[in-house]
Amino acid sequence: MDSRPVGIFDSGVGGLSVLREFRRLAPAESVIYFADTANFPYGPRPPADVRKHAFAVVNRLLAADVKLIIVACNTASAAAIADLREAFPVPFVGMVPGLKPAAQSSRSGTVAILATPGTLDGDLYSRVVADFGGERRILNLPGHGLAELVERGQAGTPAARAAIRETLGRAVADGADTVVLGCTHYAFLAPSIRAEFPGVALIDTSEAVARRAVAVLGELGLAAPADGTGTLDVIVSGDRSRFREAAERLGFAPAHEEALT
């Protein structure tokens, strides 16, 4: 048994979608969540820049003696997770766009991948499409401005719904019946997407990634004692009050305020 914390990081509030699932599945685990808001958004940045920031965050988490790191960001996973695994002696769990379940469940054969440019242009995404795209028609949809809306705590606003209509409308009209949420920020847009396009199925991998992290902890003998209660600490590289406000608007309790450093 290992009581050390698990590290989770993202460029902002998006990774809270993974944090929520991980804490639900593993309430005994302590967590340090790192929101790299000083460098948000990762999506439009060159891969080398994303890798630089990811390495800096991981070094900070390792200084806090974390036992496993969840890269709760699709862009950072695409740009950096292979290098992180090679460079650091801790296990990593990253995000992979959920094309496999989307391709299996789509009835129309047309799947839309809603993701950042950094994810869509990466080698990891290309391999996923090659492995699981099959005969499906794959529509790549860069979510320009959507992560920024979520980061401002505006996930359920009229502005968010208008942006969703603009981004997804043509793909849905063109036959897409399944949308992969290829950015952790987009999980918070799911209610608005369902309201705008009620016939479309959404694939969100937040729970699957959290479940994989729990499995890795068990496989490696790193799980915390099951009778304990995990703690949560939050590190924010940028404006703490802005992060706190956005997190609260997305449904996270004010208890985060006590943990902010």
DSSP letter for each residue of 66-83:
-S-EEE--HHHHHHHHHH
Indicate if 81 belongs to the active site. Answer: no
Calculate the CA 45 to chain-centre distance: 16
Residue in 146, 183, 213, 222 annotated catalytic = 183
β-partners of residue 233 are 32
The candidate with the shortest Cα–Cα distance to 208, out of 232, 230, 184, 231, is 184
Cβ 229 vs Cβ 207: under 8 Å: no
Separation of alpha carbons 19 and 207, rounded Å: 9
**Angle at the Cα of 78 from the Cα atoms of 117 and 61, rounded to 5 degrees:** 120
DSSP letter for each residue of 225-238:
PTTS---EEEEESS
Sheet of strand 110-115, all strands in order from the earlier edge strand to the far edge? 137-142, 110-115, 178-182, 201-203
Residue in 73, 103, 202, 235 annotated catalytic = 73
Indicate if 183 belongs to the active site. Answer: yes
CA-atom Rg of the chain in angstroms: 18
Catalytic residues: 73, 183
